[in-house]
Amino acid sequence: MCGIVGYIGKRQAAPILLEGLHRLEYRGYDSAGIAIGGKGKLRVAKRKGRVRELDTLQPQKFKGTFGIAHTRWATHGEPSDRNAHPHCDGSGRYAVVHNGIVENAAALRAQLTDRGCIFTSDTDTEVFAHLIALMDDGSPLESVVGAALGRIVGAYGLAVVDAERPDTLVVARNGSPLVLGIGDGEMFFASDPAALVRHTTSVVHLDDGEIAAVRADGYETRTLDGATTVKTPSTIPWKDEAFEKGEYTHYMRKEIAEQPDAVRRTLGGRLDTRFQTTHLGGLQLGARDLLDVRRVKILGCGAAYLAGAVGAHLIETLARIPAHAEPASEFRYRNAVVERDTLYIAVSQSGETFDTLAAVQEIKRKGGRILGIVNVVGSTIARECGQGIYLHAGPEVAVVSTKTFTCSAVAMALLAIHLGRLRDLSVASGARLVRALQVLPDHIAAILAREPEIAQLAEAFAGAEHAFYVGRAAGHAIAAEGALKLKEVSYLHAEAYPASELKHGPLALISLQTPSVVVLPRDDLFAKNISTVEEIKARGGPVIAITHPGEAPTTFDRSFEIPALEPELDPLLLNIPLQLLAYHVALQRGTNIDQPRNLAKSVTVE
């Protein structure tokens, strides 16, 4: 998704901004550009394609100590050199980079064209540059930009540079993240802290409706109405090295391998072996508040939603509270009933997913109680929720979620045990689950150590264009996550079905060329799942079972067995081989594993 980075200080801006663009590459984009100010002029370079293609225009040679840069993910107008950001006014004095969508762009474009502006792109963003040029009355740049934003309907994270005001850059936020980075006699900003950590970990998150004047020696923030706001800097808890690929060929593989440590951090200080429960310091809801909870609704998108589906099963099983997960992107549009005795939970790795944020805001507006399960500290969803459970999984760079899916599900387990132990979950059951969580990272490590076996399973997909992923109850959420991983990174068509649903339609598609991956825990639904396996085999479909050791009344074409831990937590372990399976199928097919086509790491637009 689009990325912004900016710099003002004493150093040459271009190398800093280009390095920042490389840091934003993981988010997904189709073009990149940069504008550097110096000696009363702006120098702009932009290009369709990767940042390395922008590098061929040699923007690193642009001299100047302030500038802005951008990676674009097309919304208005095809990916092309002319639609890449920055966009300038007709004179080339002002340049703008923008994340988001200007909803009234067509009307503004018509008005500006009538006033003689000549547009050189198909983007909505270009209207900003012309508006600012027309509205500049010599006031401070932040006032001019603020006035121009008054004409805009839509969402934005925005940065503006004026060649003739070398001491100030202006950024503004409404619905799309922007973070200021505080340096020593220099300032940075970005839409993602990943672009800042090499230079500073001291950051200030802008809120919606805020505008900031950024100067080398500091910043001032205000609302669009002109009221000064006071911000408190916070610290990014990640080191620059955490963003490196290290010995791994792909970030996805690295992040899969990091899971034992990531899970240890999610669990850190949260297991209470005295009362055999969990301790969740980020919750502002006390025992009495939590006892009043009659229903739980979990919201997220993509893998975060599916981690929520695992969590819903855990909460319903362990706490006996009706719990349900729903895609946040659906919830926000359907005028949902928000009840005071429902606990709402937003799950998000980035904490910036627009649909999830909109769902959180809708729930809050209707008076609902919400907590966040979020990875990025200080992110918008985390701040909007105001309470919750941080994953502490470390940065996730690959577009596909792996370690944060697992850590979100672990955070859900912590919450489920907490809610359960306030109700009918016994001390003995609490102890059993707390013990299992203590050894969970080691069990994950043991599965990862058997990667060559899983790589062999991937051979079952040779010649396949379609696959089924099948599971029951929590196993279905794991199957759905396995299918999501496979389609994202291998581009194979993968469908997840509840095991019981196959005979109601999808069996018609079973063939020798359609492998079915069956999530098959040895639990009280094992016999039912075996019937499903028989149904598939009877129609000639190859079956790959992800299961526990033990006699099975049927033989699988291929299988991967992992030791059972505890039935409630086993789905978390059954997921690990599916991540590696997707990775190895993608490796065999030679796809772009870390940046799959058409996908962005963090979907910050509608």
Binding site for ligand AGP (CB under 6 A): 301-304, 348-350, 353, 356, 399-401, 488, 602-603
Structure tokens belonging to residue 108: 């503004």
CB of 177 to ligand AGP, least distance (A): 11
- Burial pattern 493-514, b for ≥16 Cβ within 10 A else e, equals ebbbbbbbebeeebbeebeeeb
CB of 29 to ligand AGP, least distance (A): 15
User: By CB neighbour count within 10 A (0-12 exposed, 13-18 middle, 19+ buried), where does 477 fall?
Assistant: buried
The residue type found at 472 is R
> Mapped to the 3 state alphabet, what secondary structure does 394-428 carry?
CCCCCCCCCHHHHHHHHHHHHHHHHHHHCCCCCHH
CB of 142 to ligand AGP, least distance (A): 30
Catalytic annotation, residues: 2, 601
356 or 490: CB nearest ligand AGP? 356
CB of 349 to ligand AGP, least distance (A): 3
532 or 604: CB nearest ligand AGP? 604
Give the integer Cα–Cα distance in Å for 435 and 276. 9
- Burial pattern 285-313, b for ≥16 Cβ within 10 A else e, equals eeeeebeebeebbbbbbbbbbbbbbbbbb
Strand partners, 173: 157, 210
301 or 417: CB nearest ligand AGP? 301
392 or 421: CB nearest ligand AGP? 392
- Give backbone dihedrals phi and psi of 20, rounded to 5 degrees, phi first: -65, -40
CB of 405 to ligand AGP, least distance (A): 7
401 or 516: CB nearest ligand AGP? 401
Give the integer Cα–Cα distance in Å for 463 and 143. 61
Strands 543-547 and 516-520: parallel
CB of 352 to ligand AGP, least distance (A): 7
Residue with the CB atom nearest ligand AGP in the bound state: 302
Give the Å distances, CA to CA, from 559 to 99, 534, 535, 566. 45, 15, 17, 20
Strand partners, 7: 67, 188
H-only helix segments in 320-402: 328-331, 354-365, 380-385
For residue 332, what is the DSSP state?
T
H-only helix segments in 13-103: 13-24, 51-55
CB of 450 to ligand AGP, least distance (A): 23
55 or 330: CB nearest ligand AGP? 330
301 or 587: CB nearest ligand AGP? 301
